[in-house]
Amino acid sequence: AQSVTQPDIHITVSEGASLELRCNYSYGATPYLFWYVQSPGQGLQLLLKYFSGDTLVQGIKGFEAEFKRSQSSFNLRKPSVHWSDAAEYFCAVGGTSYGKLTFGQGTILTVHP
């Protein structure tokens, strides 16, 4: 069965600092991996995705993520955080089984000025 773990429930960073959100997954084959962001009271917006190829993927809003098969990880990074990045971030894994996604528990990001 597929699963996703986001070890950090809540992360606080200062504006301008770098950010890394952790994601570990369990999946029997090559996974499809996603990061979504959810602002309060809003739906989920896709930040980036990994299907195959280059293991470093670029997304919107200056985010990037690196797929590391040996570590079963897909960590999200941003070199300089902006106050508008405060939100909840979800990592998700999916595959060919009707494209069903399994989500992690989410990481809430707080940005201090």
Partner 1 sequence: NAGVTQTPKFRILKIGQSMTLQCTQDMNHNYMYWYRQDPGMGLKLIYYSVGAGITDKGEVPNGYNVSRSTTEDFPLRLELAAPSQTSVYFCASRTDRSYEQYFGPGTRLTVT
Residues near partner 1 (CB under 8 A): 4, 9, 32, 34, 36, 42-46, 49, 51, 90, 94, 98-106
- Least Å distance between CB 97 and partner 1? 10
Cβ count within 10 A of residue 21: 23
**Closer of 9 and 29 to partner 1 (Cβ):** 9
**Closer of 15 and 88 to partner 1 (Cβ):** 88
Amino acid residing at 64: E
**Closer of 40 and 113 to partner 1 (Cβ):** 40
- Least Å distance between CB 54 and partner 1? 17
- Least Å distance between CB 15 and partner 1? 26
Distance (Å, rounded) from C-alpha 91 to C-alpha 22? 9
Per-residue HEC secondary structure of 68-105 comes to EHHHCEEEEEECCCCHHHCEEEEEEEECCCCCCEEECC
